Structure 1
Amino acid sequence: QETTKVLNEAAVNGKRDYLEGLKENVLVGHKIPAGTGLKEYENIIVGSREDYEKLKGKEVVEIEEEVKG
């Protein structure tokens, strides 16, 4: 009940929430900003050993283009 009241008041008054807390992000289904290495692993690319062997000899630019592809 309290959440509905707060959301309604914010909408009526045109307030903005930058979703910096855990609860806010859970409510809207975003990643939870918690842990010590969040920023470090945000853009990590995960693949198989086979993918790694294929890409190992390529330049970084070529790899980025292939991933974005």
Structure 2
Amino acid sequence: MTQEVKSPQDEAKVAQEYVVNSDGWVAGYRRKAGETVELTKGQAKYEDVTLKEENAAPKKERKPAAKGKAS
């Protein structure tokens, strides 16, 4: 059995999910912030997107610090 060796060019052709950062044009279509799009690494390089992390824990909301009583 032979293993297939992936080159950097092959990795650049694999589509991954990205999240749109702000409203506007992405990959030729009007998109809203928060939408998920599939792009290759090469396409995403020139767009306002962030790689979607499947295993990332959801961000916890920070609560403001409790105010102490003044003496």
- Considering the TM-score relative to the shorter chain, is it more than 0.5? no
- TM-score scaled by structure 1? 0.23
- TM-score scaled by structure 2? 0.22
Higher relative contact order (CA 8 A, sep 6+): 2
